[in-house]
Amino acid sequence: MERAVYEERDPRRVMSAPDLVALLELFDAAGIFVWLDGGWGVDALLGEQTREHDDLDLVLAADDVARIVGVLEANRYDVAKGRLPTCIVLLDPEGRQIDLHPVAFDDSGDGIYAMEEGGTWPYPARGFKGTGSVLGRAVRCLTPEVQVLCHAGYELDDDDRRDLAALETRFGVRLLP
């Protein structure tokens, strides 16, 4: 049964930096590699939190989805929406949300993501070389160039526009019109 997610969820709690670091420690202990995407991915690249984050976007190998869901379920998260091969959304009782973006790595190292609407989107292999920090902890994240690519193809909100402006200012990358 699907539960309300994103802005419709109740209760709803932001994903704080300490929450994020605690989750990354759980994943590291389980040997699960994840890359931060979205707002937290941008802030990790910047090395500072610039705003509150309503959720946590993670890119990971599709082969690791069962293990990460198991780790999260053991920590009070439940699947609220989705299933392989597309995005899976998990919620905890307090309303923190994690969006898993599973990819199948091809021979060139691109991470092929199956979109909910059908079709696929490739995360370029070079995008998995990003590093950043959250509360002084080194983290894997998508590179600035690929973060910008991930913002293409949908209507941007104010947070997206601020994230893209910060990436352009710091790294000189921008979303082409």
pLDDT tens, the chain, 177 aa long: 578 998 899 999 999 999 999 999 999 999 999 999 999 999 999 999 999 999 999 999 999 999 999 999 999 999 999 999 999 999 999 999 999 999 999 999 999 999 988 999 999 999 999 999 999 999 999 999 999 998 887 888 999 999 999 999 999 998 766
Domains of the chain by start residue, with CATH: 6-168 (3.30.460.40)
In three-state secondary structure terms, 95 is: coil
Residue 177: its pLDDT value, please?
61
Q: Which secondary structure element, helix H or strand E, spans residue 67, and what is its range? A: helix 65-73
Angle between helices 38-46 and 158-171 (to 10 degrees): 30
Contact 55, 6 (CB under 8 A): yes
Tell me whether residue 40 is exposed, middle or buried, using C-beta atoms within 10 angstroms of its C-beta: 0 to 12, 13 to 18, 19 or more: buried
Residue 167: its pLDDT value, please?
96
Residue 54: its pLDDT value, please?
94
The rounded distance, in Å, linking the Cα atoms of 36 and 44 is 8
